[in-house]
Structure 1
Amino acid sequence: MVKRLLSFLWVAIAVFVIGFLLHNYLLQHWNVSLRYNLFSVYLFHFVASSVVYLLLEFVYSYVPDQVGYGFLMGVFIKIGVFVLVFQTPIFYTEDMPLYERLPLVLPLFMFLGVEVWSIAKLLNLK
């Protein structure tokens, strides 16, 4: 369990650092300023993905057949909490251009890929 947790954390940290630095560099290169903090978006997804994975490790230790349902529940809760935390830039802007919408969604899919990869490794243990 500790080895799986450490491998997840290493991959998630790498995605966080590389994704944020590359994203921030491209935004600065194109002289784009966002209405929200990009670091907080990446940090939220890193922390939320780590919490979801820890919960799934806990579920796997007690009921390994229900990990898929736990994963779906964790993803839906993570998206719901994201919308609650970042509701101001999502809902209260009238005309949000594409260059401001993509940085909200891109980290979600990046960390979702890390979660899917780690859950697939977890489910292949059977």
Structure 2
Amino acid sequence: MFRGGMQDWPLRVHSILDHAARAHGEQEVVTRTIEGPIHRTNYAEVARRARQVSAALNRLGVEQGDRIGTLAWNTYRYLEIWYGIAGVGAIYHTLNPRLAEEQIAFIMNDADDRLLFTDL
């Protein structure tokens, strides 16, 4: 391991959210829902909900390297799912909601997605 200014732990995506929750927990995160209204939360809440997603995936037996499909618009729920999947070391597989059903089914089967999250 290199010494100096380098860290001595692996840098993983969910670590970024963990840091944000610790250092800036009450900082507001503002997004818009699909339905239109503004949604306000904070980093501590996003991290808490992402951990809930991770826990649910663990209960379902998801393992590191499993591919998890997501069919969702870019909202706060998408953010929570993204970090929750990363939290268990699974692979986040984004599917485009604008594709036809047959295309989505083909892509999911070809990628061998273990589960699918939807939020449309």
Could you state the TM-score of these two structures normalised by the residue count of structure 2? 0.31
Which structure: greater helix fraction?
A: 1
Which structure: greater strand fraction?
A: 2
